[in-house]
Amino acid sequence: MTIQEAQQQVDLWIREYGVRYFGELTNMTILMEEVGELARIMARTYGDQSFKDSDLSKSLPDEMADVLWVLLCLANQTGVNLEEALQKNIEKKTIRDATRHLNNKKLK
C-alpha cells in the first residue's frame, strides 16, 4: 500500500466507522499519547526498564501502527499529501546531509 492509499483507507474508515475526525488539536494530543506508548515499549524492549504486567499485551508493530494512524488522520485533516511531503523531505535531507554523516567520525 502506498502512503496515499493509506491516507485514503484511513479517511474511508473514519467516514464509515468513526463518524468524523476528532479535532486537529485532539488528534495532536492523541499522537503524543501514542508516541508515549511506543516509547514505553521501546524502553522496555531495548532499554534498561523491565516490563510491567500491563505492558505484556502491547506489541511494537501495533504501537507503531497507532502512531502512523493518527499521523495519517492529521495529514488528511490538514490537507497534507504525506507521500509528496516525504519525497520532498528525502530530497531536502539528501542535499543538506550529502556528506555530513559520511564525515561524522562518531558513526564510523
Tens digit of each residue's pLDDT (9 = 90 or more) over 20-31 = 999 999 999 999
Residue 22 domain-assigned (yes or no): yes
Number of residues in the chain: 108
Residue 105 domain-assigned (yes or no): no
Cell of 27: 488528534
Residue 47 domain-assigned (yes or no): yes
**What is the tens place of the pLDDT at every residue in 47-90?**
998 988 888 888 999 999 999 999 999 999 999 999 999 999 99
Cell of 61: 508493530
Residue 108 domain-assigned (yes or no): no
Q: Which residues of 33-44 are buried (b: 16+ CB within 10 A; e: fewer)?
A: ebeeebebbeeb
Residue 68 domain-assigned (yes or no): yes
Give CA angle at 29 (70, 38), nearest 5°.
Answer: 60
Domain total of the chain: 1
Residue 72 domain-assigned (yes or no): yes
Check which CATH number belongs to the domain holding 18 and give it.
1.10.287.1080
Quick check: pTM over 0.85? yes
pLDDT confidence of residue 55: 80
**CA 71 to centroid of chain Cα atoms:** 6
Residue 75 domain-assigned (yes or no): yes
**How far apart (Å, rounded) are the C-alpha atoms in residues 74 and 53?**
32
**What is the tens place of the pLDDT at every residue in 30-43?**
999 999 999 999 99
Give CA angle at 51 (45, 53), nearest 5°.
Answer: 140
Q: Which domain holds residue 23?
A: 3-82
Q: How confident is the model at residue 19 (pLDDT cuts 50, 70, 90)?
A: very high
